[in-house]
Chain A
Amino acid sequence: MSNDHPLLSIRSITRRFGGLVAVDGVSFDVRPGEIFGLIGPNGAGKTTLFNVITGLIPPSSGELTFADVAITRRAPFRIARRGIGRTFQNIRLFSDLSALENVQIAQHIHERSSTLAQVLGLPSARRDDRRTRARAMELLELVGLAGRASEIAGNFAYGDQRRLEIARALALEPQLLLLDEPAAGMNSSEKHELSAFIRQLRDQFDLTVLLIEHHVPLVMGLCDRIAVLEFGKLIALGDPASVRNDPAVIQAYLGDE
């Protein structure tokens, strides 16, 4: 983590919705290989920042750089193809499709055979299909859902849906993985497992992880660095120990006495 050349660079990002400033001049860098936590009270602008990074919402002002390329105002699909995958606070699987199909769709961009070859079922297409299917199965295996590959995603239990969503994001083969409240709705032992799992992902896939989380102990134990947002502004940035003792953070979380 001595490498301080940033993978994602957020520069003075501001996003207004009418009169509301949801994200207000936020700047920070995410370095390659780190697990970076984004915390803050409800409505602090964390998810809005995720939406800006992934291109769903253009920033009102500011610049984003990812792997040395400016991605500000790029189309979401281009940003995804550059290597940013994400999950959602309220899970957004394709609930009518099978688990396998959910993962395979994200591999769409890595297909090599032509559509015509696929219609005709040519050998190149079948090879491609076998390859993406095998890859998708590996990812399902990783999240422990390989045995249920052909089940419809909408029928999965909540926790399984969360894991399937992570497998789908990984199928993009991202460099940076954004996780929006991955531990929401989990009990404490599940939260422990999740922490270990996120570390494993980072190591196995050479990932950089940026995650939003409400559960402060989990963030403190898992993240290398943490940024704290309040009312759209960055109020603290640093390693867990320094953030924990930051007076501004204590005030944001506990309110002024």
Chain B
Amino acid sequence: MRGGALVAPPDRQAGVDFSQILQNILNGLSIGSVYAIFALGYTLVFSILGIINFAHGAVFTLGAYFTYALTGQRFGFNGLLSNTALPVALPFIVAMLGGATLAGLVSVLVERVAFRPLRQRNADRLLSVVSSLGVAVILVNLIQYLVGAESYSYPSNPFGLSKPAINFGSVERPIPVRSIQIVIFAVALVILLLLTLAINRTMLGKALQAVAEDLTTARLLGINTKRLIVLTFFVSGFLAGLAGTLVGASQSITGPYFGITFGLKGLGVIVLGGLGNVSGAVLGGFVIGLAEAFVPPQFVQYKEAVAFAILFLILLIRPQGLLGRTQVQKV
């Protein structure tokens, strides 16, 4: 960093570019870490059941709204719950964990309604696409019915940070990064770490891998697969709700369709990382986050297109995803 400053040519433009790059990296890591925890929720369900839960984006949205309600803020005038607020106002961190927990419970309900009945009838996996899309549409409409289509913002400075931004550069060459981005990054890293440890260190994690490989055999080895599937959906929904709250805290909750683009991007992330691959989901999240952060400000409305273009290019070279393995043809 210092070397860069020393050799920096007199023309000021180069210095600005350098700090811009660092700022982009930090922002990219921050949003990338949220993509990662969101995508992990997708990939956990995919890895054990081989299905995509299209209601995942709707659960993300719900999580953000739950957190909003738990902080004791009032809803607008356009829904059934117009101008109501919970009698309690929880501190933001508690509300966030509460919102994520409620999102986890909704996700368990989604499994019960949209996936389990089909699984028990040995229905084609494609059918669960339709049922989970149906649930997603119902949830989004329910949100609109209850709290209207307007956007909501969390209390300003939700994490009680003393400074709105932290300077990673010097006084002459400031590289400011919003404090909230750093908190988001930290929260996401803690979650990623806990989840990685849980998957790799615990018998539960091994049981999960076993279920992912062969559900039937896992049952015959004494693994309570039904409970494990419920647990997976809970964790998946918890991660989605947490991601929803973090994105909402960084910007705002833009309405009932808040989770739609995010849901699509999350799908892109897991495909990019390699379907069903946990480390792949994390890596994919960071790749997409960083790619978006480097989209120049004047093209910011096209950043989704950039993200998907990158996805497309990588898949042309590695159809199995970054960390996915080539499918071995089973005889």
Closest to A132 in B: B203
Contact call B198/A115, Cβ cutoff below 8 A: yes
Contact call A105/B220, Cβ cutoff below 8 A: no
Contact call A105/B219, Cβ cutoff below 8 A: no
Closest to A113 in B: B203
Q: Check: A39 CB closer than 8 A to any chain B CB.
A: no
Q: Check: B221 CB closer than 8 A to any chain A CB.
A: yes
Contact call A119/B198, Cβ cutoff below 8 A: yes
Stretch at the interface among A13-21, A94-102, A156-164, A208-216: A94-102
Q: Check: A104 CB closer than 8 A to any chain B CB.
A: yes
Contact call A119/B220, Cβ cutoff below 8 A: no
Contact call A94/B213, Cβ cutoff below 8 A: yes
Contact call A115/B204, Cβ cutoff below 8 A: yes
Q: Check: A140 CB closer than 8 A to any chain B CB.
A: no
Q: Check: A46 CB closer than 8 A to any chain B CB.
A: no
Contact call B198/A81, Cβ cutoff below 8 A: no
Chain A CB within 10 Å — which of B201, B210, B221 has the most?
A: B221
Q: Do A105 and B206 contact each other (CB < 8 Å), given the known contacts A56-B216, A77-B223, A80-B222?
A: yes
- Chain B residues within 8 Å of chain A by Cβ, number: 24
Residues of B within 8 A of A76 (CB): 216, 219-220
**Majority-rule SS of B interface residues:** helix
Q: Check: A7 CB closer than 8 A to any chain B CB.
A: no
B 178-209 binary contact with A (CB < 8 Å = 1; else 0): 00000000000000001001100111101101
Roughly how many angstroms separate A172 CA and B210 CA in the complex, as a whole number? Answer: 15
Residues of A within 8 A of B167 (CB): none
Choose among A55, A111, A115, A168 the residue that contacts B221 (Cβ–Cβ < 8 A).
A168
What number of residue pairs across chains A and B have CB atoms under 8 A from each other?
86
Contact call B223/A108, Cβ cutoff below 8 A: yes
A 90-132 binary contact with B (CB < 8 Å = 1; else 0): 0010111100010011111101000100110100010000001
Q: Check: A86 CB closer than 8 A to any chain B CB.
A: yes
Closest to B202 in A: A118
Q: Do A92 and B216 contact each other (CB < 8 Å), given the known contacts A101-B206, A115-B204?
A: yes
Contact call A56/B202, Cβ cutoff below 8 A: no
Q: Check: A75 CB closer than 8 A to any chain B CB.
A: yes
Contact call B225/A77, Cβ cutoff below 8 A: yes
Q: Check: A54 CB closer than 8 A to any chain B CB.
A: yes
Q: Do A94 and B214 contact each other (CB < 8 Å), given the known contacts A76-B220, A80-B220, A106-B222?
A: yes
Q: Separation in Å of the B280 CB from the closest CB of chain A? A: 14
Chain A residues near B (Cβ < 8 Å):
54-56, 75-77, 80-81, 85-86, 88, 92, 94-97, 101, 104-109, 111, 115, 118-119, 121, 125, 132, 168, 172
- Known contacts A56-B219, A115-B204; 6 further A-B pairs (Cβ under 8 A): A77-B223, A92-B214, A96-B209, A101-B206, A105-B209, A115-B198
Chain B residues near A (Cβ < 8 Å):
194, 197-198, 201-204, 206-207, 209-210, 213-214, 216-226
10 A-B pairs closest in CB distance: A118-B202, A80-B222, A76-B219, A109-B222, A94-B213, A106-B221, A81-B222, A92-B217, A105-B210, A111-B203
